[in-house]
Amino acid sequence: MHDGLLATLRNRLTNSAFIELATVLSLLQDIAPTVHPDDRFLTHGVTFSAWCAYSLLSSADKLDPHSDHIWSSKATIKVKIFAWLLFRDRLNTKANLHRKTIASDSLCPWCAHHPVDASHLALFCIRAVQVWHLLGLHPPPDIDLIWTTVTPNGLDINI
């Protein structure tokens, strides 16, 4: 394989790429391939999967206290992803765009006094408050308390 790879790539490589290839080949010279399948495991012998890796990471850090509410809901995947981004403050709000030097300021275009972060966008902006009231709901004082919002009679939030 070594000679076949060199013969195939030699005419196309620049001098620096040829030096890099030689370095990689020297690092690989002591590695012998096996016929056994390449199994990937997390800790304690658990077979690797994206779900297991996410569970392991989120359980160790407890960074996402809203994950059970979000991912176990019957909402569409788009709504779940939006909620996940909202609670992790990863939406492209004006505050986040301003911090990345993409927006010139972070102030709300309707309030003009508060930066638009996830909490302001979902709870405190005058437009958000209007939506809450149109739904017959009262916004909670903090975004982390959104799951404790009292719903009016007849509105089943477990659908």
Read off the DSSP letter of residue 101: T
pLDDT digits (tens, 9 = 90+) for 19-50: 898 899 898 888 888 888 777 766 666 777 78
Give the mean model confidence (pLDDT) for residues 1-16.
Answer: 66
Distance CA 10, CA 123 (A): 61
Amino acid sitting at position 24: V
pLDDT digits (tens, 9 = 90+) for 86-102: 988 889 999 989 998 99
Q: What are the boundaries of each domain within the chain?
A: 1-33, 68-148
If one counts every other C-beta atom within 10 angstroms of the C-beta of residue 159, the result is 7
In angstroms, the Cα distances linking 111 to 60, 84, 142, 145 are 39, 25, 18, 23
Q: What was the pLDDT predicted at 7?
A: 63
Taking the model in full, what pTM does it have?
A: 0.56
Residue 157: pLDDT band with limits 50, 70, 90: low
Residue 79: pLDDT band with limits 50, 70, 90: very high
What H or E segment, with its residue span, contains residue 4? helix 2-9
Q: What was the pLDDT predicted at 77?
A: 92
Give the mean model confidence (pLDDT) for residues 101-112.
Answer: 88
Compute φ and ψ for 65, nearest 5 degrees: -70, -10
Angle between helices 15-28 and 2-9 (to 10 degrees): 170
